[in-house]
Structure 1
Amino acid sequence: MLNIAFGQSKYYVDNLSENTKRGLRQKVRNGEYPCLAPVGYLNDVRLKTIVVDKKKSVIIRKAFELYAQNNSRLDDIAEFLAQRGITYRNGVKYKRDRISFILSNPFYVGFFKFKGEIYEGKHQPVISKKIFDRVQEVLEERGRPHHNPKNSPKVFCGLLKCSCGMGITAEVKKGHTYYRCTKKSKITKCLEPYIREELLDKQLSDLIQKFSLKKNWAEKLLEMLEKDKADSAHNPFAFVQESKDKIESIKIKLQRLLDSYLEQDIEREVYLEKKNIFMHEKKSLEEKIQGLEQKRTGWVEPMENWIKEAANLPQVARESNLFAKKVATKEIFGSNLILAAREARATPHKHWRFLQIAAEKTA
């Protein structure tokens, strides 16, 4: 009798386990995450769904945007979250691995992982696919092993080229940083002299100043831009239709991929890798379509950013932030900066050149 009772108990437990697993599989197929919601979301017990935490989701979005700028460490993001009340339950701020997990979690962009496989969720994304992809690039870049050079790289390295065509390097002598040609050419013997960092800084500041946008001009342009948002002449229909066709094509590929996996034509690792690629590609296209259909002004945001950037150049030129000057100079001139006879020379991009001409004519 005891053996029969044990047998019935085991049958009941096995049956319950199988039913639970079947329920979980069906749940994930429906796009419902079967686990605890990550920070920024809440588990709605009444509706048995996951909803956005209106307060914490805004903080998480700002943390992603901050890290995407590639100027913050994981510790900085942990401090940023802690200052806004997002910590472990005991009040201790998140560790680096926890921050890395949050920043690499596809849940925030509308996906979720379950048993190594990625699914498209029904929950509302809190960040854009573009920001998420940028954060993954930064994480990957910073995750690579870095070898400490004998001399730490200086800020203006990689910005200019020597007149002989070679790159520019830097070295520190008697407490000062000097930039000079790498002299790596086997054909030409370069005779260009060095230039001190302070002098190069002043030259770049003067160059940047020439392309600044006057405050009243910036205000007027931003005002005009607001009006253009309503009656933009850009028609995204062709792009939207093309993107929708691509999405349908991806859906077919996903189904074929699943069929191949079920028929055991491909390994599980290959299936998961390919599915992940297709799902992210599909999400990017859907996000672009949504943005264009909501406001047919895809050109407005870049234009607005350019106006604000040009208006901010005088402040960048005045301040001592060398990295900000490098970024602004790179934006204006690209890779056209040449160092010759201790003088930085360059040809700006067309839109910056037009701004310079307009400023000179009204001076």
Structure 2
Amino acid sequence: MLSIEAQLTELREYAKREDIIISAEVVEKQSAKYIGRPLFNKMLDEIEKVGGNILAWNPDRLARNSVDGGRVIYLLDTGKLASLKFPTFWCDNTGQGKFMLNMAFGQSKYYVDSLSENTKRGLRQKVRNGEYPTLAPVGYINDSRIKSVIVDRKKAKIIKQAFELYVKGNQRLEDIANFLAKKNIISKRGNIIHKSRATSILSNPFYTGLFRYGGELHEGKHEPIISKKLFDQAQEMLKLRGKPDRKAKNEPQSFCGLISCASCGMMITGEYKVKKQKNGNVHEYIYYHCTKKNKSVKCKEPCIRQEELSNQLSSIIQKVSLPKDWAEELNRIALEDHKNSAQFLTAGVKEKEEKIQNIKIKLERLLTGYLDQDIEKEIYRAEKSKLLFSKKSLEEEIISLSHKQNAWLEPFQNWVKVAQGLAEFIGENGRNSVGVASQRPLLIFFKTI
């Protein structure tokens, strides 16, 4: 198809050859596929009022929809449009001429409709093949050479870091936007992206190997940037951050959640206190006391300083440290289990593969129910998304099992080592060893017990 400038040049030369006087040139740049073109309608309105003639390059330049085409033919019927000429098409204001014009308009509309349907069919087939049919999100590149989506290695690392930062819980959406801006991921206008765009990035399943298109979730062939587990954590954080912030009056202390009151059975809580003297000295203290939430029992236990509580705990821990022979036996059993873990791994992988196969069967049944119109479109889309997310999680669990089948052994041996050496540790460091400087071994021990 010729450009607008080329069409104008050809039309001027045609008018000169045919001795046609051009009173005005109307250049309508909006598509003839849709009704409501302002310049085209203004031209027809003037012809309807005072009459006139039209010279155009081709009938499809005037109309590719039934409304505009019918209006042009109606103006020929009423005589308001005296003549209609084209360099590439014969048309007289006769019955045969209007019939041919009507056929040309119908052919133009058929071409547009067929082109649209063929394009949609091609896009649907790309989706079925797992190919993303539109512009890829940040972190990926649309490679025109292979007509596929590939990972942008530089930006992909930044996107993964953004997810990892956000799931920590101490980052706002604005902080994520600022982080991305520092890494040169900005808007098209060169500004920091809005927090709604940051939300869109953090909630886009494309980064896990899935993608949404046409209101549905589909499996993609592109390489994932993040794991499904990290994505799920980000979704939970988005929900959590969306709730009103309820900041605790006091920061949680080291022993909170580990100890309960011996008198009433309620949990022990801690408070941070600061005492300022007149001479300018500042003293910081941490006190622990019973929450006293048991309404049926009036607890009379007083508060206790952290130093005193550490002394008491140190005495208890010395009594329950793991004996050496127990530690050796536990290590021996762990090494035997380590050798036999392969068969358990195989069984676990097989179980998850069976679940994946069941999900595939459910997806086929779900599609059949939707095609048979037994299931509403909204229900179909929602259930399909759930099944695909579950399938993705199971696939990642299989990979994790294959890579980390013996990852439990080292943490267990470390625990045995810590539990066995508690008495020696306390003896070397004194009775105040379970204080601020050495809370980690204590926490590991108590949580594991």
Q: Same fold (TM over 0.5)?
A: yes
Instruction: Map Cα deviations across residues 306-331 of structure 1 (whole Å, 9 max, x no partner).
Output: 889999xx9xx99989xx96x98655
- 1:32 & 1:195 partners in 2: Cα distance? 64
Identify the match of residue 107 of structure 1 among 186, 189, 206.
206
Match of 1:251 in 2: 360
How far apart are 1:11 and its partner, in Å?
2.5
Match of 1:11 in 2: 110
Q: Tell me the percent identity.
A: 50
Q: CA deviation at 1:68?
A: 2.5
Of 333, 338, 341 in structure 1, the residue corresponding to residue 446 of structure 2 is 333
* Moved segments of 4+, more than 6 Å: 171-177, 197-208, 305-311, 317-321
CA contact (8 A) 1:181 1:194 kept: yes
Q: Which amino acid aligns with 1:44?
A: D
Partner residue, 1:276: 385
Structure 1 distance, partners of 2:118, 2:250, is 60
Question: SS of the residue aligned with 2:197?
Answer: helix
Does 1:135 find its partner at 2:252?
A: no
Relative to structure 1, is the Cα distance of residues 246 and 174 closer, same or farther in structure 2, using a 3 angstrom cutoff?
A: closer
| Counterpart position of 1:33 | 132
Question: What CA deviation, in whole Å up to 9, does each residue of 1:88-144 have, x standing for no partner?
Answer: 234422222222211111001100001220000010111111221222222222222
1:56 aligns with 2:136: no
- Contact 1:63 / 1:80 at 8 angstroms: preserved in 2? yes
Q: Deviation string for 1:177-197 (max 9, x for gaps)?
A: 754322121332212222457
Once residues 46 and 199 of structure 1 are traced to their aligned partners in structure 2, the CA distance between those partners, rounded to angstroms, is: 71
**Which residue number in structure 2 is paired with residue 165 of structure 1?**
265
Counterpart of 2:372? 263
CA distance in 2 between partners of 1:93 and 1:46 (Å): 31
Q: Unaligned stretches of 5+ in structure 1?
A: 212-224, 335-347, 350-363
Partner of 2:143: 44
Give 1:188's match in structure 2, choosing from 297, 310, 321.
297
Residues 131, 174 of structure 1: CA spacing in aligned structure 2 closer, same or farther, 3 A cutoff? closer
Aligned-partner Cα distance in 1 for 2:247–2:187: 34
State whether structure 2 residue 329 is matched by structure 1 residue 234. no
Aligned pair 1:79/2:178, yes or no?
yes
1:246 to 1:53, Cα distance in 2 relative to 1, 3 A: same
Change (3 A) 1:189 1:283: same
Q: Distance in 2 between matches of 1:202 and 1:98?
A: 52
Aligned counterparts of 2:268 and 2:155: Cα–Cα separation in 1: 46
| 1:210-245 Cα distance to aligned partner (Å, 9 max, x none) | x9xxxxxxxxxxxxx9xxx9x995342212222211
Q: Answer whether contact 1:177 1:197 (CA < 8 A) is retained.
A: yes
Specify which of 405, 416, 420 is matched with residue 298 of structure 1. Answer: 405
Distance 1:305 1:172, change over 3 A: closer
Supply the RMSD in Å over aligned alpha carbons: 4.0
Instruction: Give the drift of 1:23.
Output: 1.4
Is the contact between residue 204 and residue 329 of structure 1 (CA under 8 Å) also seen in structure 2?
Answer: no
Equivalent-residue separation in structure 1 for 2:157 and 2:209 (angstroms): 16
SS at match of 1:234: helix
**Cα distance in 2, alignment partners of residues 115 and 137 from structure 1:** 25
Give the whole-Å Cα distance in 2 for the aligned partners of 1:304 and 1:154.
30
Secondary structure (helix, strand or coil) at the match of 1:55 reads helix
Number of paired residues?
Answer: 311
Alignment of 1:94 with 2:201, yes or no, is no
Amino acid at match of 2:203: S
Q: How far apart in 1 are the matches of 2:379 and 2:147?
A: 33
Matched letter for residue 191 of structure 1? K
User: Does structure 2 retain, via aligned residues, the 8 Å contact 1:129–1:287?
Assistant: yes
What are the equivalent positions in structure 2 for 1:341-352 lying under 5 Å apart? 349=449
Residue 148 of structure 1 and its aligned partner are, at CA, apart by 6.0
C-alpha change, 1:184 and 1:90, in structure 2 (3 Å) is same
Please state whether the residue corresponding to 1:145 is helix, strand or coil. coil
More displaced stretch, 172-181 vs 119-128 = 172-181
- Matched position secondary structure for 1:23: helix
Quick check: which has more Rg, 1 or 2?
Answer: 2
In the superposition, the TM-score normalised over structure 2's length comes to: 0.58
Q: Larger relative contact order (C-alpha < 8 A, sep ≥ 6)?
A: 1
Contact 1:169-1:179 at 8 Å conserved across structures: yes
What is the CA-CA distance between 1:199 and the residue it aligns to? 7.5
Q: What secondary structure, in the 3-state scheme, does the structure 1 residue paired with 2:135 have? A: coil
